[in-house]
Every structure is written in structure tokens, then in C-alpha cells.
Structure 1
């Protein structure tokens, strides 16, 4: 097994330096110790194997078929606890998406428990509000203090906003299929309600955020009818399914003709990335089954489509009226 692994590393190694020297540097060990491991006189331990696999970007799942034992390796995203880490998250996401924008075969399938991230990354109040909520839920200092959104909005770094807007625009060039239900919008409405009732969100800004949410719903409805991403320069396709049978999960499946990967959220923004292809195939089949049990809204008729979007508009208007009257009740 070690010989297979070492041979695979050699294929990935830089031609500019000695392979032994490269391994010694990665593992922070001496030249002789690296030589013994390469020639299998000393066994690699698990920590060393993982370090080498990460450096050379090798999937241990694929190499050793770990999945056949019902065990797979996942990649955990970095922890996000402050504005700098959030900006790095946006930057890394852009870097990961750009190669997909150049592939016609690339597509994203999104099980939308909440409004997908990219719709809230525009020059709007709701973008700034989402950043506030994300940091309020993940940053220990912000969780403790009583900083309001009205105060926070004045302090958001321009570089953070620029990366957020850039990430939102990057999604315009990828084919997207989404699964929504009547509750997809509820999470955002509940966040507005919570911080407004906590007196951390003013009436004026709460109403502005609601208006931005209305714009998002209108944007999605237009995309649904046209079956294409608005503002896309490469005619990226868009399909929206209404799924009443299953509860949404915010799982994202990314597909190309060559590879698949899916992302499972476990906190507000952090996620687990799965690239084990047999497991990705299972997830792909699950999405296909979900399509057969859902309504593709462009084909379901104008009545069903109008009812679906009007229900969201009514929820937003109800919240706006309650905020205006200082009388928050059940939004359903």
C-alpha cells in the first residue's frame, strides 16, 4: 500500500527539486528519514500520509477505495469567526468557482432550506445584514456585545463587501438547479424578526431589508420563467423545482463531466466537502429522484408558479406591515 502511495506522490512531485528533499521539507524531517520512508524501510504514519496527501492534493479515498469500507474522508472548511476570515472565505470560494465558469458542463444543484447565499451577495442592505447575522452567530465578541445592525453597517470593511459582491457575480456563469419549498424564505424572515424584536435592528433598516428580499423573489421568479441566469454572459441555465415531499437541507452538489463533489453545512457557513466519487454518485441519484417528486415550476403552469411566488410576497408584506405597526406575530 505504501509503495502505491509513494509512486503516486512521485507523479505529482515537482521536477525542480529532489523528491526526497521535497518530502523531507513537507514532513519536517531529515533527508535520511525521508529517504527511508520513500524506500519503505520506515513506515509512514497516518499523520505523515495525510500531510503528504494534502500537499500533493491526492484523494486518499480514491487511491485506497476507503469508501468500500463505508468510511470516507471529508474536507472541513476553515472556521469563520471574524471579518477577516469571512473575507478569506469569499476569496477562496471565488477561486474554487472560477474554473467551473469556464466549463460548459459545470452545474450546481442546491437543496435550498434557506435562500441560497449568492442571492444575498449584491450591493444591498440584505447583503450587509447577512454579514451581520453570520458574524453575530459565529463571532464570540459580537455574540456578547449589543452592537446593532445600524451601528455595524457603518463599520463593514470595503474589501469585505467587494469580495462578497464578486462572489455573488461569479455564480452568474454556472448552470444552477434549485429545490425550494414554501419554507425556504422563512429563515431570513425569522432573522429579521428576531433582531428587530431584540432592538438590534431599526424599523427603517428592517423595512429596507424586506424590500431587498422582495427584489430577490422577483429576480428568482424572472429566472424561473426564462430558465436562465439573469445577467449571465454565457447563457447559464436555471431551473427551479418546488419540492413538497422532502425537507430542504442546504446541501450543494457540484458536477462536471469529469468530477463531482458535494458540500454539507454543519454550522452557519462552515461545511464538509465530500469528493468520494461513489458517494457523490449516490447524492446525484438522490437529486434526480427529487426532481421526479418535485414540480419544475416553468412547466407546472402559470397558476402554480404564481401561487408559489405570491405566497412568499405575502409573507414579506405581512412582516413589513407588522414592523410598521410594531406588532410582530406569526408570519405563516
Structure 2
């Protein structure tokens, strides 16, 4: 197995660098120690193998088909436990998405349990509120200090906001197929009423957030009708499916002519990145069946499409009514 690995590394090595020197540099060992590993006189440790695989951008799954068909290696995303972690998460998402704007026929399938995160990252009160909610879920100190939304927006780093905005803009230039259900909007609305009733979001802010959510839904409706991103620079397609049978999971499937990758949720915002091609093929087939059993809203009658979006607008209006009633506490 090490013979195969070393051979593969040599194919990936830089042409202008001594292969032994490069191995020594990556593993932080001497020339002689690197020479012994390359010539199979010393076995590579698991830690060394992983370091080399990362450096040369090699999938261990692809190379070794690790274990059996039921055993795969995954990559865990950065942990958004604080503002720096959230910024790292956004930048990592950007780096994962950016190549898709350069690859012909690359696309994403997004199984939307909640409103897809990228729709909520534009320069709005909603984007700042979503960051607040994510950090409240992950950051123990914010919970201990009882940080309000109004406190948070006064101190949110500009670099964090810019990372969010550029990632949202990038999403507009990728071919997207989103699968929604009639409950996809519910989680976001429930978060608003929860933090409003808990006293962490003021009435004024809560109503502004409702306006922004409504703006997102209207924008998505426009795109669903024309089957294209409204603000796309490269005419990327946008297809919205309604599934009335299954619940979604917020799994994101990336499809290119060369490979498939999917990102599946782990905790709040954290995800596992899976590149094992046999598993990715199974996931792709699974979502193809999902879409075949769903309604493409551009092709459904105007009545069905209008009913779907009116249902969401009705929910937003009910939330506004509850906030405006200014009587959040009840014994039900």
C-alpha cells in the first residue's frame, strides 16, 4: 500500500523541487529520514500519511478505498464556536464553492430543511440576525452573558460581514437545484419568535427581520419562475423543487463532470465533507429520485406555484401579527 501511495505522490510532486526535500519539509524530518520512507525502509505513520495526503491534495478514499465499502473517511468543517470560527467557516465555504464557478456544467443540489444559508447572507438585518443565532447556539459565553441581538450588531466584525456577503454573491453564480418542502421556512420563523419572546430581540428588530425574510422569499419566487439567478453574472440556472413527501436534511450535493462531493450536517453549521465516490454516487441517485418525485415549480401551473409561496407569506404575516400583539407570553 505504501508503494502505491509513494508512486502517487511522485506524480503530484512539484517539478522544480527535489521530491525527497519536499517530503522532508512536509513531515518536518531530515533528508535521510525522508529517503528511508520513500524507499520503503521505514513505514509511514498514519499521521504522516494524512499530512502528505493533505499537502498533495489526495483523497485517501480514492487512493485506497479505505477499509470496505461501508467504511469511509470524512473531513470536518471549521467549528463556528465564536466570531473568528464563523468567519473561518464562511471562508471555507467560499473556497469550496469558488471552483464551481469555473467548471462547466458544475452544479449543486441543496436539500433544504431550512432556508438555504446562502440566501440569508446578504447585507441585511436578517444576515446579522442569523449570525447571532448561530453563535448563540455554539458560544457558551454569549449564553452566559445574555447577549442581546442589539448588543451583538454593535460589535460584529466588519471582516465577518464581508466574508458572508462575498459567499452569498458567489452562490448567485453557481447552477443550483434546491428541494424545499412546505415547512422549509418554519425553522427561521420559529427562531424569530423564540428570541423575541425571550427578550433577546426587540420588537423593531423582529419586524425588520420579518421584512427581510419576506424579501428572500420574493427573490426566490422570481428566480423559480425564470429558472435563473436574478443577479447571476454567468447566467447560472436556479431550479426550485417542491417535495410534499419527504423531509429534507440541509445536505448539499456538489456535482461536476469529474467527481461528486457532498456535505452533510453534523451540528449547527458544522458538516462532514464526503468525497468517497461510491457513497457520493448513492447520494446522487437518492436526490435524483427526490427530484423526480417533486414538482419543479417553473413547470407547475401558476395556481400551484402561487399557493406554495402564498403559504409562506401567510406564515410570515402570522409571525408579524404575533409580534405586533406585544403579548408574547401565553399559557397553552
- 8 A Cα contact 1:319 1:328, kept in partner: no
Note the C-alpha offset of 1:299.
Answer: 1.4
- Please list every run of at least 4 consecutive aligned residues from structure 1 whose deviation after the TM superposition is greater than 6 angstroms: none
Query: In the alignment, what sits opposite 1:148?
Result: 148
Query: In the alignment, what sits opposite 2:212?
Result: 212
Q: Does 1:73 align with 2:73?
A: yes
SS at match of 2:261: strand
Query: In the alignment, what sits opposite 2:294?
Result: 294
* Aligned pairs, number: 330
Q: Does 1:24 align with 2:51?
A: no
- 8 A Cα contact 1:67 1:276, kept in partner: no
Note the C-alpha offset of 1:114.
Answer: 0.4
Query: In the alignment, what sits opposite 1:191?
Result: 191
SS at match of 1:89: helix
Query: In structure 2, do the counterparts of structure 1 residues 100 and 326 end up closer, same or farther at CA, with 3 Å as the change threshold?
Result: same
2: CA distance between counterparts of 1:221 and 1:327?
32
Query: In the alignment, what sits opposite 1:88?
Result: 88
Note the C-alpha offset of 1:96.
Answer: 2.5
Query: In the alignment, what sits opposite 2:222?
Result: 222
Query: In the alignment, what sits opposite 1:268?
Result: 268
2: CA distance between counterparts of 1:239 and 1:285?
18
Scaled by the length of structure 2, the TM-score of the pair is 0.96
Where does structure 1 lack aligned partners over 5 or more consecutive residues? none
Q: Does 1:55 align with 2:55?
A: yes
Note the C-alpha offset of 1:328.
Answer: 4.4
SS at match of 2:155: coil
1: CA distance between counterparts of 2:218 and 2:69?
47
Q: Greater CA deviation, 162-171 or 45-54?
A: 45-54
SS at match of 1:154: helix
Note the C-alpha offset of 1:294.
Answer: 1.0
1: CA distance between counterparts of 2:52 and 2:292?
43
Note the C-alpha offset of 1:99.
Answer: 1.7
Q: Greater CA deviation, 269-278 or 29-38?
A: 29-38
2: CA distance between counterparts of 1:32 and 1:94?
40
CA RMSD in angstroms, aligned pairs only: 1.5
Note the C-alpha offset of 1:218.
Answer: 0.6
Where does structure 2 lack aligned partners over 5 or more consecutive residues? none
SS at match of 1:69: coil
Note the C-alpha offset of 1:133.
Answer: 0.6
- 8 A Cα contact 1:113 1:184, kept in partner: yes
Q: Greater CA deviation, 196-205 or 56-65?
A: 56-65
- 8 A Cα contact 2:175 2:237, kept in partner: yes
Note the C-alpha offset of 1:11.
Answer: 1.3
- 8 A Cα contact 2:136 2:143, kept in partner: yes
2: CA distance between counterparts of 1:205 and 1:104?
42
2: CA distance between counterparts of 1:94 and 1:67?
31
Query: In the alignment, what sits opposite 2:245?
Result: 245
